[in-house]
Structure 1
């Protein structure tokens, strides 16, 4: 990998004249320089006339008749030494080329790693753990399996339970999905646009169910509902924070009458003296057989109430608001994660392990978001 720039080159110096360099030496590739006097013949000696007249390969040159010269055999090249020198030159060239290749690869690799490190993390704003060298990258299927949002739909929280028809939650502009070091959380700013809404109902409230989420409230006034279901004139259930009789409280409330009258609502309330800026696990259950609702705070039983049943109001599941008397209210301000719904009433000993993350004995939830 490169960062878009070529690795620095290393130009080689021009070979010194006569040194052999990378090209052929004067006199032919791998052979000694040519001597005056022709290939394989001695140079003219002082007192002899100019260039010899060839007399045939291996025979003496013709001399003027007036001064005949004795026969001088032509010296033969040392072919073995010449072959050794030629092989030595080729070896040196191979070593130089290999060295240049290694240096170039290291430079290119260093530049690529620098670019990769810059793009994949290492900066102060990136809290992803580094990937160990040589570790395989996750497959596309694994990446999709762990995705928090619907593929190609970054504003829809993905239902990760895979236990029946999925219910995706569409986030409105007043909601922000925040990536933490090893998890994700939903931050709600409060107001009319601060909610996430499902594409359908998440649970049949005429049957047993459990709803749970972890919340972090940044306000201690008014009514602040983390999760609810229903619309039209009223909620079917709601779970969150409320000031009840002047006291800060956690509340799980259900509607038993189809008109949503206050007189037909049933609730379990527990005081919340330390609700501000502190993560709290809230769980509400409905046992259709026993006709009871129960509230758990940080996996501990907080109370229960008898009900005649729950009104199955139309409308999908909601995060951050609830329907009261035909209007949306109870806007939650803060964060939440670990949102799950079971289509059964969890027993107290099962709820006790929710915050621990050891859910193997609880059975698969029907719906789950931000787990």
Structure 2
């Protein structure tokens, strides 16, 4: 654990003359898409070969023709591209094979009628079964909400598809939607009580469906974040925050969740290289100017943090004035503090505020973000995803669960 030392901040905006994000310093010769002086114009009209002539598009042996030597077979990934359904580079969707077109044929009307009748019978049976299950759940006091199944624990070095929560037969698609109805760029606060805090997604943040769960993928940079409509945490009182993090880089500072948009954050939780070591960090600010002398933190070594799902939980006990950090539901460190400065500004995903600028841009994924307006004890954190909700209660805010 390290206290009272600030980390170097790296502004996200490029410096003057640096060439911008991804470009070398200096001007781009010829401008965007234009040839340099003295070079042939690639946009000039070129003579086109006659259809069917050798070398014409679509002719056998032409470059890019299906099955031609040197050209990919239609519908198969080219060398280096991911296969359908595999996770892609963060920010890019999985490659979807293009459908092959076939000539329309006369439908078998009798087969369609039989299939329609079978589907009606199946829906009727499912309705009867669903009603019986709902009655049993209500009679038994079944209460399954915001609990991840035990099968949704972090596995290998790739995001895995797993169920989050239990679906009731009476649920509609809107009930399980991660976004607000009518606004696909607004993450929905799915906690049942209190005032909901919706999260607005920036252009470079992508919402991805993985089996029965959803995650957000962040590319890093100034346009890769999500911002709440208001504050989600009252830092003058006890609180607990938990989220799963999947980071794909091992350099700099990569914050999963923070709060504040003034001179400094009030709290931040995420990944950072500290003294040359991969680490998980939970920091709070106790002064109103964001000075290093008033920052308190917990730092935990994380040698295998990169490209692996990890659940982080941070708590603040306002009565005892202590903060704690849990990694994979196990307490990894605690610290005594004087309190947390209630800085202005809403909750943030994928970035944090330092000295009046945005930094800590995350490159990776987040899901299962939950906030409680109370401190969870170690034994409660240990059962976060076991379904034993009686000891946890309903979170005050929840996204991507």
Q: TM-score, normalised by structure 2?
A: 0.60
* Match for residue 224 of structure 2 among 186, 194, 217: 194
Q: Is 1:366 matched with 2:396?
A: yes
SS at match of 1:309: coil
Shift of residue 145 of structure 1?
Answer: 2.2
Contact 1:281–1:355, Cα closer than 8 Å, also in 2:
no
Q: 1:142 to 1:206 in 2, by over 3 A?
A: same
* Match for residue 241 of structure 2 among 192, 211, 221: 211
Q: State the partner residue of 1:336.
A: 366
* Match for residue 163 of structure 1 among 193, 216, 219: 193
**Deviations along 1:277-307, whole A, 9 cap, x unmatched?**
1110001100000000000000000010011
Shift of residue 144 of structure 1?
Answer: 2.5
Q: Take 2:124 and 2:327, find their aligned partners in 1: how far apart are those partners?
A: 43
User: Within 5 Å, which residues of 2 pair with 1:47-62?
Assistant: none
- Count of aligned residue pairs for this structure pair: 257
Q: Is 1:351 matched with 2:342?
A: no
Q: Which runs of 5+ in 2 are unaligned?
A: 1-103, 131-167
SS at match of 1:277: coil
Q: State the partner residue of 2:40.
A: none
Shift of residue 139 of structure 1?
Answer: 8.5
SS at match of 1:142: coil
Q: State the partner residue of 2:342.
A: 312
Q: 1:5 to 1:133 in 2, by over 3 A?
A: farther
Contact 1:224–1:330, Cα closer than 8 Å, also in 2:
yes
Q: Take 1:370 and 1:359, find their aligned partners in 2: how far apart are those partners?
A: 18
**Deviations along 1:52-109, whole A, 9 cap, x unmatched?**
xxxxxxxxxxxxxxxxxxxxxxxxxxxxxxxxxxxxxxxxxxxxxxxxxxxx5x3332
Q: Take 1:237 and 1:268, find their aligned partners in 2: how far apart are those partners?
A: 12
Q: State the partner residue of 2:32.
A: none
Q: State the partner residue of 1:135.
A: 126
Q: State the partner residue of 2:82.
A: none
SS at match of 2:390: coil
Q: Take 2:124 and 2:169, find their aligned partners in 1: how far apart are those partners?
A: 17
Q: Take 1:135 and 1:178, find their aligned partners in 2: how far apart are those partners?
A: 29
What root-mean-square deviation, in Å, do the aligned CA atoms of Structure 1 and Structure 2 show? 2.5
* Match for residue 289 of structure 1 among 319, 322, 335: 319
Q: 1:283 to 1:139 in 2, by over 3 A?
A: closer
* Match for residue 303 of structure 1 among 333, 337, 347: 333
Q: State the partner residue of 2:141.
A: none
Q: Take 1:139 and 1:342, find their aligned partners in 2: how far apart are those partners?
A: 27
Tell which has more relative contact order, 1 or 2 (C-alpha 8 A, sep 6+). Answer: 2
Q: State the partner residue of 2:10.
A: none
Shift of residue 353 of structure 1?
Answer: 1.1
Contact 1:144–1:151, Cα closer than 8 Å, also in 2:
yes
Shift of residue 6 of structure 1?
Answer: 7.4
User: Within 5 Å, which residues of 2 pair with 1:102-251?
Assistant: 106-109=110-113, 134-136=125-127, 142-251=172-281
Shift of residue 146 of structure 1?
Answer: 1.9
Q: 1:271 to 1:132 in 2, by over 3 A?
A: farther
Q: Take 1:237 and 1:304, find their aligned partners in 2: how far apart are those partners?
A: 15
SS at match of 2:380: helix
Q: Is 1:253 matched with 2:283?
A: yes
Q: Take 1:314 and 1:352, find their aligned partners in 2: how far apart are those partners?
A: 32
Q: Take 1:217 and 1:355, find their aligned partners in 2: how far apart are those partners?
A: 21
Which has the greater radius of gyration?
A: 1
